[in-house]
Structure 1
Amino acid sequence: MAPRVLVSDALSETAVQIFKDRGVEVDFQPQLGKDKDKLLEIIGNYDGLAIRSATKVTEKIIEAATNLKVIGRAGIGVDNVDIPAASRKGIIVMNTPFGNSITTAEHAVALMFAVARELPAADASTQAGKWEKNRFMGVEITGKTLGVIGCGNIGSIVASRGVGLKMRVVAFDPFLSAERAAQLGIEKVELDELFKRADFITLHTPMTDKTRGIINAAAIAKMKDGVRIINCARGGLVVEADLAEALKSGKVAGAGIDVFETEPAKESVLFGLPGVVCTPHLGASTSEAQENVALQVAEQMADYLIRGAVSNAINMPSITAEEAPILTPFVKLAECLGAFVGQVTEEPIKSVEIVYDGAVAAMNTRALTSAALSGLMKSQVADVNMVSAPVMAKERGIQVTESRRDQSGVFETYIKLTITTEKQTRDVAGTVFSDGKPRFIQIKGINLDAEIGRYMVYTTNNDAPGIIGLLGTTFGQANVNIANFQLGRNRPGGDAIALLYVDSPVPEDVLEKVRAHKAIASAKPLTFDVAEVTA
């Protein structure tokens, strides 16, 4: 059955056709996003939801989305999606961070020119029949210092445009490397240094707890007299009341504002102030950008629903279409390792350590770690996947660490998962052979080679004669067929383990007979979701 996608905001016909061409059934209702009650009523029928900014994907909508797997936002901002709620529900949230980068960057540059030369006020004056040539005395941009706060996709384009305009460009971004700064021809500085030196300041940083209100009264006090401020990023980055006071006092000579603390902004303390140019969130409003993000979100969502490729996800590691076939067996292995530990551990887990050894260390280990946590959490929460598992682990205070290393054993590659509880440390390791099937290769430090089946039984026991006979006889009498039987021990007469791959679930009374033997320490039934791998 083809996956179904609801398009609840205005996307182009070309974007809708992309879904259809990829084998996705599309329900195109571009006005539905404005009707939250109707959306709530029908959202449970869809695997995907494609939106722009009009649709508000609230926690209530997400709870009703019983089949939803992915939300795609045509644009960079996802303020209209409850991402924590989506993550808890296991729904991937994608955006399109590159489709409108140039458009937004160009709008910032346009606002910078408009503020520098007071173009809107001069236009209004001239069209009103006035000829106030001496009133509008602007400033040149050439030779001025441009301060860029946030030098990611959009900020780096603005920085390069500033260099092209013969400006001196300084940038603050904790993630900007010295090499990248040199490549752009700009100078990386600390934030206070940027405030001190910049003639124009432009914001291109996401909204976080650290960046909220980054331009406030204290920051403005550190700036040059006559500085001009441009914001095409997020309204909450600027404390509008503080900026208004600075404009009135002349500390700030002008401001170009495309985004506001509250939108739509029908009123603002900035309206009507001299030197202020305001636009109604036009950063991404060009025909090219609107088409680009629409096509991009359709391609991303279709790739995920049809091929399992994840790109530009807010709440999950990306998996490219090219790496998906290679990664899939190891995703299943990681999930099985987590599922094993989750099913045999009864105490609360304090920490999880995952070691990627050999070839797997060069793969997308973030996705593999998410898969391992998904398997681990399934023993506690039935409805969990790679998106929601890391969130659930964090909510439960489980510390997760991962490490990578070159091949260190006889296997070309393997994954080892170790959990720690208040009472013990438990580990399990596995690999994928050329047949694509996951296998356990070590449990409790004891080596073995066990194919993983849907139904298994794990026993711990003393290494003593008769254990194989006990298990075989007991299961045979209960008409439970053993497909595969693997044993391991740490030393003769020491600790031993057994993994039995069986064709059907083992009744509890049969397991009780096994546990009654004096040499058996424990016998636990296990279930693994591996049907598609071992079929």
Structure 2
Amino acid sequence: MTKPKVLISDKMDPNAARIFAEQGCDVDVITGKTPEELKAIIGQYDGLAIRSSTKVTKEILDAATNLKVIGRAGIGVDNVDIPAASAQGVVVMNTPFGNSITTAEHAIALMFALARQLPEADASTQAGKWEKNRFMGVEVTGKTLGLIGAGNIGSIVASRALGLKMKVVAFDPFLTPDRAVEMGVEKVELDQLLARADFITLHTPLTDQTRNILSRENLARTKKGVRIINCARGGLIDEAALKEGLDSGHIAGAALDVFQTEPAKDSPLFGTPNFICTPHLGASTTEAQVNVALQVAEQMADYLVNGGVTNALNMPSLSAEEAPKLKPYMALAEKLGSLVGQLTRDSVPRISIHTEGAATELNQKPIVAAVLAGFLRVQSDTVNMVNAPFLAKERGLEVREVKTEREGDYHTLVRVSVKTEAGERSVAGTLFSNAEPRLVQLLGIKVEAELAGHMMYIVNEDAPGFIGRIGTLLGENGINIGTFNLGRRAAGGEAVLLLSVDSAVPEAVLKQACALPGVKTVKALSF
């Protein structure tokens, strides 16, 4: 089997390349390429490991014909066109925990630097001045710290702040009351945080919802004398309004590690009194650089070699431990999605994925993604589990998930239903011996069939002689039957026949089959 090939295009700890090689990947370390140079070589790689320098644009992705995964050694993925990657079925991963402690510690360090005016005091002292009375700081003990964003890094900052005997209030729409209690913080709305916080620190990604979250209006709502720290992302603060607040004295101090435009070489904030800045050093410790490099290599290699998905931004996570359990279910789900897609000619506004019994105990997202991949692949052969949910949303397809924990006729069951103009169409399958996918229900008729290779789907009137006629027709055309599966609603009623055949059935033979007495529908299937 050919080894997956990975390109490391940014400077990274050399142990990353070692891990890729040890996990069974071929790896090239080629840094400093221009976009045109990267476009020229990216087509030969299955994986691309980056930091912040490489810009993965749609143009780069269009040239990356074999690319399966992009791994960002760090948190921010502003330099990756995630929608374009999703549309092309490329998994995008980051390493959200590798530099969490480092970034949190930097925020705390900047908070202390603001509180005690350390950079100004250092510069003054080294200039031969002894301005002891000029630098009157404030204690952090007993002060209120406002967290905007209470995720992984924010929670670490909260822990450190509580250890400093600060009171912590947090604004985060995703923070649950129980989690707030567990963290030891008070969950508040943004207006409350702005009015109460002596220090504000930001720990949220840059999205349409968070862009300029500290806008001119919100900065005006802050408590007079507030000190603001941002080690998250540039663009969260209106920098012009921040300068005005510092100049007016309403804001007592600000410390930025990130800027709206980077590298920041001519910011109007430079030289402003009580302003401290660092050149995006949040993740810049020896430990963090090693950690994120090792993590991205382990995650990417796990995906390329074993199918494990960790810290993906556009696909459900799937651990290496989960993968073996979910693999047969995902195979079943994809086949069921493909079957219902091939049988449905009408437009489909809604698809439902219903799991019963043992299937409900598993991670549902990969099962749903597999169904969608199978269903949409009828329309495009470039669909996979990564881009299927994206394409479904793009097409306005409503996706419903239903779980029934009790067992029915089978220990485990996956049912896929679509709403069409003609009504609801449903197929269902189970696993034999917990590993072998089997179709057990087709449009309300009980059957038992393996979905594999080339097949024929026939709806006919249940009457004597039909099986012989279809067998004779296929034999006369040199088509060998592999398996034969028949189901019916009742004797003499409507029957469904699923045949596996050794080769694709020509259109002319399908027409001959459709002309047989009692036949209502004939369709070729492929899995």
TM over 0.5: yes
- Tell me, what secondary structure is at the counterpart of 1:298? helix
Partner of 1:237: 236
- Listed as ranges, the matches of 1:455-534 within 5 Å are 455-528=454-527
What's the offset of the Cα at 1:177?
2.1
Asked whether the equivalents of residues 350 and 422 of structure 1 are also in contact (C-alpha less than 8 Å), the reply is: no
- Tell me, what secondary structure is at the counterpart of 2:498? strand
What one-letter code is carried by the residue in structure 2 that aligns with 1:491? A
What one-letter code is carried by the residue in structure 2 that aligns with 1:337? L
CA displacement 1:258-285 (0-9 Å, x = unmatched): 1111111112122211111111111001
- Alpha-carbon distance between aligned partners in 1 of 2:421 and 2:137, rounded to the nearest angstrom: 69
Partner of 1:25: 26
- Alpha-carbon distance between aligned partners in 1 of 2:201 and 2:340, rounded to the nearest angstrom: 50
User: Could you tell which deviates more after superposition, 453-462 or 63-72?
Assistant: 453-462
The answer to whether residue 432 in structure 2 is matched with residue 443 in structure 1 is no
- Alpha-carbon distance between aligned partners in 2 of 1:437 and 1:509, rounded to the nearest angstrom: 33
User: Could you tell which deviates more after superposition, 109-118 or 416-425?
Assistant: 416-425
Partner of 2:179: 180
- Alpha-carbon distance between aligned partners in 1 of 2:406 and 2:464, rounded to the nearest angstrom: 36
Partner of 2:295: 296
- Alpha-carbon distance between aligned partners in 2 of 1:466 and 1:365, rounded to the nearest angstrom: 44
Partner of 1:102: 101
Partner of 2:74: 75
Partner of 1:54: 53
- Tell me, what secondary structure is at the counterpart of 2:349? strand
Partner of 1:318: 317
Q: Structure 1-normalised TM-score?
A: 0.96
Partner of 2:347: 348
Partner of 2:433: 434
- Listed as ranges, the matches of 1:6-405 within 5 Å are 6-32=7-33, 35-405=34-404
What's the offset of the Cα at 1:489?
1.6
User: Could you tell which deviates more after superposition, 61-70 or 503-512?
Assistant: 503-512
What's the offset of the Cα at 1:491?
2.4
Query: CA 1:231–1:435 in structure 2 vs 1: closer, same or farther (change >3 Å)?
Result: closer
User: Could you tell which deviates more after superposition, 1-10 or 98-107?
Assistant: 1-10
- Alpha-carbon distance between aligned partners in 2 of 1:257 and 1:495, rounded to the nearest angstrom: 72
User: Could you tell which deviates more after superposition, 127-136 or 113-122?
Assistant: 127-136
User: Could you tell which deviates more after superposition, 210-219 or 92-101?
Assistant: 210-219
CA displacement 1:382-430 (0-9 Å, x = unmatched): 1111001111111111011111111341100111011112333211111
What one-letter code is carried by the residue in structure 1 that aligns with 2:29? F
What's the offset of the Cα at 1:294?
0.2
CA displacement 1:315-373 (0-9 Å, x = unmatched): 11111111111111111111111111111111221111100111111111101111111
What one-letter code is carried by the residue in structure 2 that aligns with 1:204? H
- Alpha-carbon distance between aligned partners in 1 of 2:72 and 2:487, rounded to the nearest angstrom: 51
- Alpha-carbon distance between aligned partners in 2 of 1:480 and 1:146, rounded to the nearest angstrom: 75
What's the offset of the Cα at 1:436?
2.1
- Tell me, what secondary structure is at the counterpart of 1:183? helix
- Alpha-carbon distance between aligned partners in 1 of 2:455 and 2:251, rounded to the nearest angstrom: 71
- Alpha-carbon distance between aligned partners in 2 of 1:77 and 1:46, rounded to the nearest angstrom: 23
- Alpha-carbon distance between aligned partners in 1 of 2:193 and 2:275, rounded to the nearest angstrom: 22
Asked whether the equivalents of residues 407 and 413 of structure 1 are also in contact (C-alpha less than 8 Å), the reply is: no
Aligned-pair RMSD on alpha carbons? 1.2
- Alpha-carbon distance between aligned partners in 2 of 1:141 and 1:304, rounded to the nearest angstrom: 45
Asked whether the equivalents of residues 100 and 293 of structure 1 are also in contact (C-alpha less than 8 Å), the reply is: yes
- Alpha-carbon distance between aligned partners in 1 of 2:14 and 2:233, rounded to the nearest angstrom: 29
Give the unaligned 5+ runs of structure 1.
Answer: 529-535
What one-letter code is carried by the residue in structure 2 that aligns with 1:31? G
What one-letter code is carried by the residue in structure 1 that aligns with 2:22? D
- Alpha-carbon distance between aligned partners in 2 of 1:420 and 1:386, rounded to the nearest angstrom: 22
CA displacement 1:136-165 (0-9 Å, x = unmatched): 111110000001111111000000000000
- Alpha-carbon distance between aligned partners in 2 of 1:494 and 1:452, rounded to the nearest angstrom: 24
What one-letter code is carried by the residue in structure 2 that aligns with 1:27? D
Asked whether the equivalents of residues 453 and 502 of structure 1 are also in contact (C-alpha less than 8 Å), the reply is: no
What one-letter code is carried by the residue in structure 2 that aligns with 1:415? V
User: Could you tell which deviates more after superposition, 52-61 or 168-177?
Assistant: 168-177
Partner of 1:533: none
CA displacement 1:213-257 (0-9 Å, x = unmatched): 110122122221111111111111111112121112211111111
- Alpha-carbon distance between aligned partners in 1 of 2:32 and 2:41, rounded to the nearest angstrom: 14
What's the offset of the Cα at 1:504?
1.3
- Tell me, what secondary structure is at the counterpart of 1:484? strand
Asked whether the equivalents of residues 414 and 429 of structure 1 are also in contact (C-alpha less than 8 Å), the reply is: yes
User: Could you tell which deviates more after superposition, 152-161 or 116-125?
Assistant: 116-125
User: Could you tell which deviates more after superposition, 140-149 or 205-214?
Assistant: 205-214
Asked whether the equivalents of residues 419 and 427 of structure 1 are also in contact (C-alpha less than 8 Å), the reply is: yes
User: Could you tell which deviates more after superposition, 176-185 or 334-343?
Assistant: 176-185
- Alpha-carbon distance between aligned partners in 2 of 1:168 and 1:497, rounded to the nearest angstrom: 69
What's the offset of the Cα at 1:435?
6.4
- Tell me, what secondary structure is at the counterpart of 2:235? helix
- Tell me, what secondary structure is at the counterpart of 2:513? helix
What one-letter code is carried by the residue in structure 1 that aligns with 2:150? C
User: Could you tell which deviates more after superposition, 422-431 or 302-311?
Assistant: 422-431
- Alpha-carbon distance between aligned partners in 2 of 1:128 and 1:518, rounded to the nearest angstrom: 102
Q: Sequence identity, in percent? A: 60
What one-letter code is carried by the residue in structure 1 that aligns with 2:393? K
- Alpha-carbon distance between aligned partners in 1 of 2:136 and 2:420, rounded to the nearest angstrom: 70
Partner of 1:532: none
Asked whether the equivalents of residues 341 and 376 of structure 1 are also in contact (C-alpha less than 8 Å), the reply is: yes
- Alpha-carbon distance between aligned partners in 2 of 1:249 and 1:350, rounded to the nearest angstrom: 56
What's the offset of the Cα at 1:463?
2.6
Q: Structure 2-normalised TM-score?
A: 0.98
What one-letter code is carried by the residue in structure 1 that aligns with 2:222? M
Query: CA 1:435–1:483 in structure 2 vs 1: closer, same or farther (change >3 Å)?
Result: farther
- Alpha-carbon distance between aligned partners in 1 of 2:166 and 2:280, rounded to the nearest angstrom: 26
User: Could you tell which deviates more after superposition, 416-425 or 63-72?
Assistant: 416-425
What's the offset of the Cα at 1:487?
1.3
